[in-house]
């Protein structure tokens, strides 16, 4: 059945561009959120990075403050407003986790039963692994599942079903439950479990169980729903000074919708979603959307990360890290036309979200905004992200790291070049046998232990990620590699 049984969106109300918008909730736990200052921070940062259009939203415990900058549609000169929808990419994953937990609350799903309970024909090539993979492992990125493909299986309600069936061809990265490895494919399996248990398509379940109860009227999945909203297009800039070029591909396919293929939202609705997690599962009107126990489960760390800059641990949905001794939860994501980041801090009762329509500048924009907002308004000293220039050169024994590591559609060969560890990255057809020149190369700068910082930021998609190795074979060689958050297994 291709026809949806629920429309996720409501008609948008136009507001003036660059308007500062605030909605009262309840008593704040912090002082000093200044919307005028937020507006200036966003405008200065987005302008410096060449971002065409952006939003910034903060929930301060009492109000949601929303500020905007630039153009949602450069060709038509349409300004970004507080209700403009952007592609949020993988930030969708925490919405998917909340959807799963709503079904757990009703006894329709169980985090610790094998997913074959709800997807009887789920298969991966590793013998017996499908019978051991659980929803808790999938949501915490510890199921050992490869990140997977981005194959498009159409817009039918069977798109997710067909995608999950294709995973029977993709070997695991690691044994289930043994290590962290970010996986769009794994989250899609969790989404299909929800779809089967809830007996409706994933988008309808998300709308009925999460978006509508929380009053998130500035969020939508389907193009026909987006017609009721102002929507931002995506842009690419070769440099800050170059003219922006519109990105021709609208979104990733519906087949990975639970992982971040289609959901669009405003930054304001991202922090309104986080407000529910700060309020023990309650919506602004007091309705219990998730149980307090489910929120605690979502906030409980399940697995440590070998790399440390994105997060220190992963919970059942969000990631977990500490800045200045304060625990912070969140998720981020990049799609073909947008990049978002959402963080929330229970001890401060605050949340913050950024969205940009120049995807490769979304993470740098968020990082620079947080450099100012966290100490100024939240009272949290944010650690400085290391850069290649800030890393002190250190000589290391590279033998443990040499060799080839693979995942679906990607291969990285690590070589010794005069005592320096250098990554040669191959993707697409070249990944099978490293034929021809690599798509990129990067020296890896030692950060201590098995962690490194790529000298070429493009190796991490301009996200500022560190990379790390883990495990040891009989010769002491690392068995796995984490490229930011994406796991790879040794092949040679």
User: CB 402: neighbour CB atoms within 10 A?
Assistant: 14
E-assigned strand segments in 346-388: 350-356
Q: Kindly calculate the radius of gyration of the chain based on its CA atoms and give it in whole angstroms.
A: 22
User: CB 79: neighbour CB atoms within 10 A?
Assistant: 18
In a 13 Å sphere around the CA of 344, the CA atoms on its Cβ side amount to 24
User: What are the Cα distances from residue 228, in Å, to 143, 254, 295, 358, 428?
Assistant: 38, 20, 31, 23, 38
Which residue, among 220, 203, 207, has the nearest Cα to 84 in the 3D structure? 220
Tell me which long-range contacts 431-435 makes (C-beta under 8 A, separation of at least 24).
431/406, 434/404
d(CA 215, CA 281): 14
Q: What are phi and psi of 217, to 5 degrees?
A: -80, -10
Residue whose pair of structure tokens reads 């070997």 in the numeric block: 171
User: CB 432: neighbour CB atoms within 10 A?
Assistant: 11
Which residue, among 409, 397, 411, has the nearest Cα to 449 in the 3D structure? 397
Q: Are 257 and 185 in contact (CB under 8 A)?
A: no
d(CA 197, CA 423): 43
What secondary structure letter does DSSP report for 207? I
Q: Which two tokens stand for residue 26?
A: 């309840």
Q: How many residues does the structure list for the chain?
A: 492
Which residue, among 249, 109, 90, has the nearest Cα to 184 in the 3D structure? 90
Catalytic residues: 90
């Amino acid at each position: 059945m291709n026809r949806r049984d629920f429309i996720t969106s409501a008609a948008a109300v136009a507001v003036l561009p660059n308007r500062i918008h605030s909605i009262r909730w309840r008593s704040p736990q912090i002082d000093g959120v200044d919307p005028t200052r937020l507006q200036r921070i966003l405008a200065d940062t987005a302008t410096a990075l060449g971002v065409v259009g952006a939003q910034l939203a903060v929930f301060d415990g009492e109000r949601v403050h929303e500020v905007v900058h630039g153009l949602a549609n450069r060709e038509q000169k349409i300004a970004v407003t507080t209700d403009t929808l952007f592609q949020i990419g993988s930030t969708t994953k925490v919405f998917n986790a909340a959807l799963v937990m709503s079904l757990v609350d009703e006894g329709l799903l169980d985090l610790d039963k094998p997913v074959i309970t709800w997807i009887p024909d789920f298969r991966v090539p590793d013998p017996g692994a499908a019978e051991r993979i659980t929803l808790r492992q999938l949501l915490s990125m510890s199921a050992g599942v490869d990140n997977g493909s981005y194959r498009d299986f159409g817009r039918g309600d069977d798109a997710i079903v067909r995608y999950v069936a294709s995973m029977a061809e993709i070997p695991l990265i690691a044994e289930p439950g043994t290590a962290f490895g970010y996986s769009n494919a794994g989250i899609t399996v969790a989404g299909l479990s929800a779809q089967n248990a809830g007996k409706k398509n994933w988008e309808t379940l998300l709308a009925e169980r999460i978006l509508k109860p929380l009053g998130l009227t500035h969020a939508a999945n389907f193009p026909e729903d987006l017609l009721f909203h102002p929507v931002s297009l995506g842009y690419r800039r070769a440099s800050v000074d170059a003219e922006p070029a519109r990105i021709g591909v609208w979104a990733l396919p519906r087949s990975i919708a639970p992982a971040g293929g289609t959901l669009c939202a405003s930054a304001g609705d991202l922090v309104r979603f986080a407000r529910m997690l700060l309020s023990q599962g309650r919506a602004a009107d007091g309705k219990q959307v998730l149980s307090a126990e489910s929120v605690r489960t979502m906030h409980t760390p399940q697995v440590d990360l070998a790399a440390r800059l994105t997060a220190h641990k992963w919970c059942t949905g969000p990631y977990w890290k500490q800045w200045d001794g304060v625990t912070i939860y969140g998720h981020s994501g990049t799609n073909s036309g947008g990049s978002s980041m959402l963080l929330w801090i229970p001890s401060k009762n605050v949340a913050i979200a950024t969205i940009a329509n120049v995807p490769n500048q979304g993470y740098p924009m968020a990082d620079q905004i947080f450099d100012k907002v966290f100490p100024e308004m939240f009272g949290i000293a944010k650690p400085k992200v290391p850069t290649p220039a800030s890393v002190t050169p250190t000589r290391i024994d590279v033998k443990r790291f040499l060799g080839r590591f693979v995942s679906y559609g990607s291969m990285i060969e690590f070589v010794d070049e005069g005592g320096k560890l250098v990554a040669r990255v191959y993707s697409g057809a070249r990944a099978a046998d490293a034929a021809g020149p690599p798509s990129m190369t990067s020296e890896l700068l030692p950060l201590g232990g098995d962690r490194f910082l790529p000298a070429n930021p493009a190796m991490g998609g301009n996200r500022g990620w560190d990379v790390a190795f883990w495990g040891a074979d009989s010769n002491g060689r690392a068995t796995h590699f984490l490229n930011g958050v994406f796991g790879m297994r040794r092949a040679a």
